[in-house]
Chains A and B, each alone.
Chain A
């Protein structure tokens, strides 16, 4: 039998506000335990939470960018559960009137284009962090993250493969980063994803029993967990067993998931309207203002780069996959770098250097004027491409001075044809064997001779000039 995997996602995204959702405590990551807390976010009796204006704005912007309809009259609801990560014993969330609904996210995979429907997007507060201390057999509660604003984005069960899930998450991350509403750093927990998965015989329209997977901390973990869980469910059904509806935790070290102990009553949250937060009514003027202020998103940039700069679609995707990278590219072009050359440097050297150092584009020290200068030196024939790559590596970490480095190390390209001709003749004379090989039809010998000339000239010659002069001499 052929099986089909059906997946829906619940993604929690931390909003990039300065303060928490209902109080003025900072949202800064890190900080000694319980130093970013106040009576409101630790749920002291008699305190009154007040909604952060920017949280509302960010949530609406995200809803608009994900093609949702925005709820004009909304409110918050109280989700009751007794667990020490939330000192109030309830989470302020939205159940009945979420801020946005019915959106769609276009995705692109090798299998083609597709739209993933968004069921809803709602605002809520994050919980604190619990760390168990085995020495004293007690749990430490740190409430620094408690009350940090989140949006939860719930999709319809529209995914069929791990590829589609990753493509969606990359698109989501890209959109939210471009909007500036979240930095979406998975390693710091500002983008977290729960995967709901079931399997069914291909062609069936009924949904199978689903499980929910948590603790997925990287795109790689998500892809592996999806493959693992689909296989596990198919095996169970094939063996005549039932899939149990449960929450499973992914263990990245063991490359396996296991069922979390869950009480049957765990789902009884007894939601009711949050009495402390008055309703939210959004005017058409407010929405128009936010719509007008939306920045150019990656998709629009890709279309523009293709149309204005004639860049291939692949290049456009690579460059716009990160907001900081796209900004860097646009700065290069504004400084006069030919777009295709700028793109090549970014996709090759820049991304290579970043990945070798485990850095994100926004953390890069190298500035656009430095790379633009390097590109200009190559265009002007003052540096050859290979030497330029060496200079790039030398200036990358500190945004060093390109001209000073070139001068200090004597790297200027040798454009003295007389000198190149002299060296070529010398190399031919010293390598009669290779010359004979070449004349006997072995093209490889030519590459060897070019290499010898470049070595004599310490890599500083213009490779095109060396090729031309060598060919000429060999013919003669």
Chain B
């Protein structure tokens, strides 16, 4: 797959990332290389092989519906750059 500068900008937009001009070139090249690896995989003959979504042979991993105490709010907010004691603060997003 051909990675263009436009595609990098599009992906950056979806992820709300601001990409500098110099970084964009480096990223384009890196993404090219990552996807080139897929081209290698694509050469394999997968005729008759069932598609797989999970690597480990486990299924139905479930837990009981039992309440366990939540995290203390101070601790939860401690890792946030701009808490106000109650909530995470983010730039204006509400329409």
Contacts and interface: CB of A to CB of B under 8 A. Distances in A.
Chain A interface mostly: loop
A248 to B, nearest CB: 12
Interface string B9-29: 010011110000000000000
A18 B65 contact: yes
B43 interface: no
B89 A139 contact: yes
A38 B92 CA distance: 24
Contact of B67 (A19, A32, A35, A280): A19
Interface stretch (A51-59, A187-195, A306-314, A467-475): A51-59
B63 A50 contact: yes
B94 interface: yes
A84 B88 contact: yes
Given A268-B14, A278-B56, A17 B89 contact: no
B66 A75 contact: no
Contacts of B53: 75, 273, 279
A143 B89 CA distance: 12
Nearest to A82: B16
B70 A37 contact: yes
Contacts of A137: 92
A39 B71 CA distance: 8
Interface string A364-405: 000000000000000000000000000000000000000000
A142 B93 CA distance: 14
Given A50-B62, A130-B94, A24 B67 contact: yes
Given A32-B86, A140-B86, A278-B54, A54 B65 contact: yes
Contacts of A131: 94
Contacts of B58: 278
Interface size range on A against B: 35 or more
A52 B89 contact: no
A33 interface: yes
A52 B88 contact: no
Nearest to A36: B70
A136 B70 CA distance: 29
Interface bracket on B: 35 or more
Interface string B78-92: 010010101111111
Contacts of A24: 63, 66-68
A213 B23 CA distance: 40
Given A75-B53, A268-B14, A280-B60, A18 B66 contact: yes
A26 B70 contact: yes
Interface centre among B61, B62, B79, B88 (most CB of A within 10 A): B88
B31 interface: no
B88 A34 contact: yes
A186 interface: no
B87 A141 contact: yes
Contact of B54 (A138, A260, A279): A279
B62 A132 contact: no
Nearest to B16: A82
A263 to B, nearest CB: 8
Nearest to B79: A44
Contacts of A249: 95
B13 A278 contact: no
Given A52-B62, A130-B94, 7 more contacts: A24-B67, A25-B70, A32-B86, A38-B70, A51-B61, A75-B54, A130-B90
